[in-house]
Structure 1
Amino acid sequence: MSDHDDIPLAYLPSKPRDNPSAEELRARIPGWGADLDPADRPAHPKLQYAPGASGAHWEFPERQPGSEGRERSIEHAFVTPVFGTAQPLRGLSGVIRRFAYDRYSEGRLAHWLLLVAGDRVDSTGAHLRSFVTGRPDDLLTETGITAEARKEVRAASRDRTRVDRHHRWMDPLLVAGPWVVTSVVAVRLAAKLVRALR
């Protein structure tokens, strides 16, 4: 008997005692081991190993061409046999994302924060490009502020069971805040540029 018998195994650095036998578990836990007999498992036929039943005509799938230079996690030896090509990496956001894949494991927070930063850089670039096209993003309709003014939405917002009631006050700040800050910075930079040119 160990002096750790009353501490759950999950909190111990090692396994100080043997696992109980199947008979002990069955006596202690009603219904334990009900699925030990494969015949009692509803999915048992699917668990049978039948090499020819998969229908695959390959041992390893044929690799899609163009994997050179594609981003992949450092945990993997190569890019998966099939991969998407619809959104190739480009610009500064592509550099950030590629750095995240080349440098950090998927288990590291830095990997995911860099991917989020790359996404933010990409979306900011898309917003800026929308001004050049002559059809800029419509901030009022895309943020949903105009929808909030409709009668049925106002009535639904008073529903006490809505989860978003407690943070609704900050939604306009989160949505419009970056635009306001960007506008203020742009106006100040433009004013400095005008003063410098005089």
Structure 2
Amino acid sequence: MNLKKERVVLKTAFKDDKEKTTIDIGKLKSLAVNEVKINSRYFACVNVNTDNLYRGLILNNPIIDVIINDSYIQISGLVVGKTYENMILTLEYINGNKMYLLETFTLSSSDKLSEYICKNYKLAFKKDIDEEEFNDWYFKIQKDNGEIKGFISKILDNTTALNLDEFINLIYGLIFGKDIDSESFNNYWKDFYEREIRDGKSERSIKLSIMDKIFYSKLM
């Protein structure tokens, strides 16, 4: 049985008024996506004819950038580890437009900051970060490394169900990239937590205090 595949996109690139358009993706030519290292960072790249090409875009996800190079286009702003399916690439040439279906792909690596944001967001929220939020955090932290504390706080806001050792290990993973050793956990953090509980502190305030202490120890 030959099933007709269709994709509804919100087309905003070519008209000022938003127009819903149905595209039969089964009729689109498919293009393979390759992972290429450019200036110490990995990007998804597609080999296309770039002569007289002046703009490219991913339909229904304009936050993803399409950068034109000499013999290929570079797709930037992708979430590391996320599987992309049925992405439609539109290329605008001087003499007309072409539309392609990108083959399913996953950006398996990038730079350290991208991997850090995407991996830890998924660890905490059990889903991939969306491209807009990813790019927002990426450029915030890239501009000011202190913003990483805000990202960690957001992650930890979603960890109320974790027990103490899971919570501590998550923080150590976020800040140091490793699990805490059992001696440090048992001899310091477990004792600190139990003492704060006896003093009537809320679990949230204790966890925030733990985060601050661990984060500060990283800066020393």
TM range (shorter): under 0.3
Instruction: Report the structure, 1 or 2, having the larger strand content.
Output: 2
Q: Judging by fraction of residues, say which structure has more helix.
A: 1
TM-score (norm 2): 0.25
Max Rg structure: 1
- Give the alignment's TM-score, normalised by structure 1: 0.27
